[in-house]
């Protein structure tokens, strides 16, 4: 639970904190501006990525039945996330993206990075891509090992079905 204290009394805030702590909620407090920035990373980036993936599949006229037969477990999970998004309220996703003040900044970053990859691919410059991947891997640090283990557990669970 993220609290953005603003126009409420300390008494009301304490009451709300205690109420949610009663349900064992983990409470994080932050300023509304910091919340918007964090939500741009947590919501806008993945939603846009999922939408863009779906748009590419649609543009390429991908046969979903065929792709599902060929998909690796991790790609199947990506497809499931994509399907999950489109099974829900599309207006909600549009609202999340259009009303976050950080969304344009995210779009500009996506465009910049896509252009870099576009140039590398156009020039068959695999080395440039490796350099970028290595730089990003370094940025993530020890998280990559933790994420790999966690995703392996998810894949293992999926493969039981």
Domain limits at 157? 129-161
User: Is residue 17 domain-shared with residue 42, that is, in the same domain?
Assistant: no
28-29 vs 2-3, strand pairing mode: parallel
pLDDT single digits (tens) 72-115: 988 999 999 999 999 999 999 999 999 999 999 999 999 999 99
Instruction: For residue 118, tell me if it sits in a domain.
Output: no
Residue 45: how many other CB atoms lie within 10 Å: 17
Alpha-helical segments (H) within 71-102: 73-87, 90-99
Instruction: For residue 124, tell me if it sits in a domain.
Output: no
User: Which of the four pLDDT bands, split at 50, 70 and 90, describes residue 158?
Assistant: confident
pLDDT value of position 3: 87
pTM given for the model: 0.79
Whether the CB-CB separation of 53 and 102 falls below 8 Å is answered with no
CA distances from 161 to 21, 84, 98, 151 (A): 36, 18, 38, 16
User: Is residue 15 domain-shared with residue 53, that is, in the same domain?
Assistant: no
User: Is residue 10 domain-shared with residue 50, that is, in the same domain?
Assistant: no
pLDDT single digits (tens) 25-75: 999 999 888 988 898 999 999 999 999 999 999 999 999 999 999 999 889
User: Is residue 53 domain-shared with residue 7, that is, in the same domain?
Assistant: no
User: Which of the four pLDDT bands, split at 50, 70 and 90, describes residue 6?
Assistant: confident
pLDDT value of position 126: 98
Instruction: Please give the Cα distance from 40 to 44 (Å, whole number).
Output: 5
Domain count of the fold of the chain: 3
Instruction: For residue 123, tell me if it sits in a domain.
Output: no
Instruction: For residue 115, tell me if it sits in a domain.
Output: no
User: Is residue 74 domain-shared with residue 24, that is, in the same domain?
Assistant: no
User: Is residue 23 domain-shared with residue 38, that is, in the same domain?
Assistant: no
């Amino acid at each position: 639970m993220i609290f953005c204290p603003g126009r409420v009394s300390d008494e009301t805030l304490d009451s709300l904190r205690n109420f949610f702590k009663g349900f064992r909620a983990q409470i994080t407090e932050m300023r509304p501006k910091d919340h918007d920035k964090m939500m741009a990373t947590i919501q806008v980036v993945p939603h846009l990525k999922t939408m863009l993936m779906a748009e590419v599949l649609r543009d390429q006229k991908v046969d979903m039945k065929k792709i599902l037969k060929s998909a690796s477990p991790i790609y199947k999970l990506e497809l499931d996330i994509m399907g999950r998004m489109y099974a829900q309220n599309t207006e909600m996703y549009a609202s999340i993206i259009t009303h976050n003040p950080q969304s344009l900044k995210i779009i500009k970053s996506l465009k910049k990075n896509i252009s870099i990859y576009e140039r590398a691919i156009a020039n068959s410059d695999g080395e440039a891509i490796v350099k970028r991947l290595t730089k990003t891997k370094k940025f993530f640090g020890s998280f990559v090992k933790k994420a790999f283990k966690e995703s392996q557990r998810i894949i293992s669970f999926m493969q039981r079905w």
